[in-house]
Structure 1
Amino acid sequence: MTRRVGLVAGRVLVYVLIWAGLALLIAAAGIRFFWGRISVGQMLLNLVSVETDGGGGAIVWLGILGVGVLPLLLTLGIALWQYTRRRKRRAAGGGGEDHSRRPQWIRRAVAAALVAAVFVGGATAFATTVGVADYIKAANSKYDIGDYYVEPTVTSDENKRNLVLIYLESGEATLADDQLFEKDSFAPLKEATPAEAGWRSVENFQQYEGGGWTMAGLVSTQCGVPLKGVGSSDDSSATGDLDDDGETYLGGSTCLGDVLAKHGYTNVFLGGANSSFAAKDTYLSSHGYSEEKGLSDWRALDEPEENFRKDWGLSDERLMAHAKEEIDRLHAESEKTGQPFNLSMLTLDTHEPVHVYDYCNVDTENKVTSVFSCSMSQVAGFVDYMKEKGYLEDTAVVIMGDHLKHMSAGDAFHEQLDHHENRTIFNRIWVPGQDPTVTLRPGVDQLNMYPTILEAAGLTLKDREAGLGVSAFAPEIPARSAQAMEPEPYIELLDSLSPQFYAEAWTGR
């Protein structure tokens, strides 16, 4: 009986290892193809908030089938094949192989080696793809973000003004290089935001180390800290509180919307995708946004089906049309009440896999180049509309990419970008009546944009700091700031898990 139980347990373990190895291998391949190399934090934050409608669409179903169903079917198939072989051997009286212990031993050794190879190979591929080694290293870092974090302190709001904040999906400035690409995809937006008219930009604007996806872009530029989940916290209650109700997102942090709301702003967010994807709606409602409109709202307005892409949502053409209506409403209300507004937006068309809406004329060999240009034309049209209506006279505008363009196996432009020495994020900043001699500090990363946006909105900050950032309008950096660190320690600081800081950031305790 003991031998029988041990045999059954051994076989179960073998099939569990086969299933786990296949699942990890397929997951690694899928992540590499659709997103490239990611981080443990990115995986955990997005895994719990996927959406089959307007949040990845077919990719989500491919993940469910590829990682959840296919490995199980393959494992069951192997088990059935082995069972059938054993039945046939028994029916044949054992066969010649049973008369010799050596062939049977070799067969079992080869089978064990194959099972081990599948499991170890899958585990190694997955660990490499999601950066498990980096995660372990970050857990042992001597740095803690809490030691450098600065709570934003507004010393004056006498000059506060309206704010328009536009995030460009995958808005990488490198795509403006017409020597690398068929044309400058940002040309329409550049024409609408010329330097000679007073528009400014951060030269060499960097994605923060460890960033690279939309929610990381929003959090870094609006909260001034790297986005890390509750998995970074060693406080078990932090995880429990978030999972139980899901009512807040970094609820213990003070972010852009919180500061603006405290000073009388009406915060509104517009996006084409499903608002609940990656818990974006929870983040916005947790941080001072009183209204957010997404996929379900546009459908409720009876937008024609051709204006949507099935995997993500509403086209940028229609999003900007709604944005014009929204800014008309907000500006009229602001003139009546005397209170400013913040209208934030996130474009969609440039999210790969490429989708060409009817409004976009493809005039390049690579469709992605044309789609980028078409999207930028829509944003440029919105900027021109604000200028025509006179809104730029009392409204600051910040336009920037949410992250660099993804470089997964299925994405375009590997030849041009894989070995590019300095990939940067596109940005433009407009501040009404600003001294034309004012320049922005070059080379800053996304964390510095938090205090920069607050200053563009006319708020005065103590020491010009917020989060880990220092305003790009500030020519000098305080000596105690994280921005004064040498590059390598600064990167290690951003990578560090900082468990106590994130426990408080997520729970407010």
Structure 2
Amino acid sequence: MEQKNKNGKDIAILIGCIILLLLGCLAFFSARWYITEFGDTGFDSILYTLFSEMNGTDSAVIMDFMVTALLPALVAFVVLTLLFWAKRGNGDRLYPFTKKRARVLSMVLSLVMLGSAAMTVDLPSYIAYMSQQSTIYQAEYVDPLKAKITFPEEKRNLIYIYLESMENSYMSQEVGGALDHNTMPELTALVQDEENINFSHTDGIGGFYNMTGASWTIGAMVAHTSGIPLKVPIGVDRNEYGQDSFLPGVNSMTNVLADAGYYQTLMVGSDANFGGRKPYFEQHGLNRTFDIFTAREVGIVPPGYFVFWGMEDMHLFDFAKQELTKIAEQEEPFAFTMLTVDTHRTNGYVCKKCIGLWGEQYENVISCSSKQVDDFIRWIKQQDFYENTTIIIAGDHVTMDEGYIERNVADDYERTVYNCFMNTAIDTKYDKNRQFVAADMFPTTLAAIGCEIEGERLGLGTNLFSGKPTLVEEMGLEAFDGELLKTSDYYTKNFFFD
């Protein structure tokens, strides 16, 4: 009986060592893959990805993970398992490890790999911040539905164009970029036009910084429209997050515009459910969503069509023209939001309109996107509704194509996100040498369509037209981000749960 218990204990320890080794291998290679492919987007983005549905993910991303991370992890696991525990036919160990030494070495190596993975994604820093309690929301947050927002007598339409991963690095050094050539001349010309406004971190062309909780698309869209980061509170079950109830306690720009009588739509070229985009907008006052599936239904693309993340931007812009024409015929003012996708990592998607001007595929895709956006803007300007329509073009976040950045952008270059405000209701002299983030786009957008905001703040954002200092300007970016990284019972209680 004693021998039987001993054998059972040995088997349990062996299984535990094998499981720990498998986890170590998976964590080590997965962390390296994530950072290599996406860069340092913050542990919040990793956590959100783990909690989100993966429907609509580009199959190339999944395949890349399987080949670059999963396969090496499994190979390493098999090799190490054989090294520590394999036996010959006669019962002798294949390699000269005693049972005790094999266990110790296996556990040590597993812990080293887990530790390395944690350091790679900066988990210790994340845990250190999460062990602290922030009071930034109690001190600084302004609820949009409790703030006094006055719309102009004649409400202006709004077209908000999110450009996937569009940062100012892609411009030439001569105009404020990081390259020796300009891959986005049309977008550069738009912000150089004196009739348009570019809020900048310099006295030239520039933009806003990535902020904690907004370094990936849905996080950025939440920040742009709600003035807060997107976080996953500790202890929340995966099934509680995203689809059925997406930040139900948050009052966003979509809520504000809905209360003001706007007809609001969102258009993406991928699966709108990916990352929770459709639930977020529809649960906060959006009227209708268009995506790859609705594009198939109306004949923009054939049935079953799917490339990259859904359909190319050239089809998206055709779809946008078609729907905008219909929407503009309605009596109520409209807010039309769209998100491009061709410039998504890695290397972007080459469509039929792309021309090989540059040596890097990603730069050719960026140039193609710049041209298509400009063509779309020219079309809008020819429409009757343009006179009373404000257009905002903004990147969602800086690119996650870490390989491209490492090859082409100097380490000391200050990367910022592109923005351009067109046909705004007001002008400003406070557009240069600003320190700001995506959260500031929320009140600034409402001001651009003529709204007066008492106190000039909504969410954690500041109306940039006003010249009032942003929280980043008051606190510094590092301190501001640090507060967002901390645990906030206020966030969990007031935003995450209704």
Query: TM > 0.5 between the two?
Result: yes
* Correspondences of 1:24-173 after superposition (within 5 Å): 24-51=27-54, 54-63=56-65, 71=73, 75=77, 85=87, 88-90=89-91, 107-108=98-99, 110-147=101-138, 148-152=140-144, 153-159=147-153, 160-173=155-168
Distance in 2 separating the partners of 1:373 and 1:188? 8
SS at match of 2:266: strand
Q: Aligned residue for 1:498?
A: 488
Q: Aligned residue for 1:100?
A: none
Q: C-alpha deviations, 1:445-477, integer Å up to 9, x for none?
A: 111111001111222212111001110011123
| Structure 1 residues 123 and 83: CA distance shift in structure 2, 3 A | closer
Aligned 8 A contact 1:27 1:67 in 2: yes
SS at match of 2:289: strand
Matched, 1:326 2:328: no
Distance in 1 separating the partners of 2:24 and 2:18? 10
Distance in 2 separating the partners of 1:440 and 1:82? 62
**Aligned partner of 2:60: which letter?**
A
Distance in 2 separating the partners of 1:370 and 1:246? 35
* Correspondences of 1:184-199 after superposition (within 5 Å): 184-192=182-190, 194-196=192-194, 198-199=195-196
Larger radius of gyration: 1
| Structure 1 residues 413 and 35: CA distance shift in structure 2, 3 A | closer
Distance in 1 separating the partners of 2:418 and 2:53? 28
Distance in 1 separating the partners of 2:268 and 2:345? 16
1:257 to 251, 254, 259: 254
| Structure 1 residues 145 and 309: CA distance shift in structure 2, 3 A | farther
Q: C-alpha deviations, 1:358-401, integer Å up to 9, x for none?
A: 12111111121111011111111111111111433101111111
Give, in angstroms, the shift of residue 440 of structure 1.
6.2
RMSD after superposition: 3.0
Q: Aligned residue for 2:170?
A: 175
Q: C-alpha deviations, 1:302-351, integer Å up to 9, x for none?
A: 44579976331211111111111222112111xxx2x2110001111111
* Correspondences of 1:425-444 after superposition (within 5 Å): 425-432=417-424, 434-435=426-427, 439=431, 442-444=434-436
Aligned 8 A contact 1:441 1:474 in 2: no
Q: Aligned residue for 2:243?
A: 246
Aligned 8 A contact 1:175 1:186 in 2: yes
Give, in angstroms, the shift of residue 131 of structure 1.
2.4
Aligned 8 A contact 1:200 1:440 in 2: no
Distance in 1 separating the partners of 2:321 and 2:192? 21
Distance in 2 separating the partners of 1:497 and 1:304? 45
Tell me which protein shows more helix as a share of its residues: 1
Give, in angstroms, the shift of residue 146 of structure 1.
2.0
* Correspondences of 1:266-305 after superposition (within 5 Å): 266-304=263-301
Give, in angstroms, the shift of residue 249 of structure 1.
1.0
Aligned 8 A contact 1:404 1:423 in 2: yes
| Structure 1 residues 176 and 73: CA distance shift in structure 2, 3 A | closer
Give, in angstroms, the shift of residue 77 of structure 1.
7.0
Distance in 1 separating the partners of 2:300 and 2:380? 24
Matched, 1:366 2:360: yes
Distance in 2 separating the partners of 1:374 and 1:443? 30
Distance in 2 separating the partners of 1:187 and 1:217? 25
Q: Aligned residue for 2:377?
A: 383
* Correspondences of 1:403-442 after superposition (within 5 Å): 403-408=397-402, 411-432=403-424, 434-435=426-427, 439=431, 442=434
Aligned 8 A contact 1:223 1:253 in 2: yes
| Structure 1 residues 420 and 75: CA distance shift in structure 2, 3 A | closer
Q: Aligned residue for 2:396?
A: 402
Higher alpha-carbon deviation: 22-31 or 41-50 = 41-50
Distance in 2 separating the partners of 1:399 and 1:33? 29
Give, in angstroms, the shift of residue 109 of structure 1.
5.7
Higher alpha-carbon deviation: 163-172 or 139-148 = 139-148
Normalised to the residue count of structure 1, the TM-score between the two structures is: 0.85
Matched, 1:485 2:485: no
**Aligned partner of 1:454: which letter?**
L
Give, in angstroms, the shift of residue 33 of structure 1.
2.8
Unaligned runs of 5+ in 2: 202-206
Q: Aligned residue for 1:10?
A: 13
Distance in 1 separating the partners of 2:497 and 2:17? 41
Distance in 1 separating the partners of 2:189 and 2:39? 33
* Correspondences of 1:460-479 after superposition (within 5 Å): 460-477=452-469
Q: Aligned residue for 2:204?
A: none
Higher alpha-carbon deviation: 370-379 or 308-317 = 308-317
| Structure 1 residues 384 and 121: CA distance shift in structure 2, 3 A | same
1:216 to 209, 216, 219: 219
Aligned 8 A contact 1:248 1:282 in 2: yes
Aligned 8 A contact 1:41 1:228 in 2: yes
Distance in 2 separating the partners of 1:75 and 1:224? 44
**Aligned partner of 1:228: which letter?**
K
| Structure 1 residues 68 and 433: CA distance shift in structure 2, 3 A | closer
SS at match of 1:10: helix
SS at match of 1:247: coil
Normalised to the residue count of structure 2, the TM-score between the two structures is: 0.87
Aligned 8 A contact 2:394 2:417 in 1: yes
Higher alpha-carbon deviation: 491-500 or 463-472 = 491-500
Distance in 1 separating the partners of 2:32 and 2:296? 34
| Structure 1 residues 313 and 320: CA distance shift in structure 2, 3 A | same
Q: Aligned residue for 2:344?
A: 351
Distance in 2 separating the partners of 1:226 and 1:22? 32
* Correspondences of 1:440-451 after superposition (within 5 Å): 442-451=434-443
How many aligned positions are there? 481
Distance in 2 separating the partners of 1:483 and 1:502? 26
Aligned 8 A contact 2:436 2:472 in 1: no
| Structure 1 residues 20 and 241: CA distance shift in structure 2, 3 A | closer
Aligned 8 A contact 2:456 2:466 in 1: yes
Aligned 8 A contact 1:309 1:315 in 2: no
Aligned 8 A contact 1:183 1:369 in 2: no
Distance in 1 separating the partners of 2:233 and 2:430? 40
Aligned 8 A contact 1:208 1:446 in 2: yes
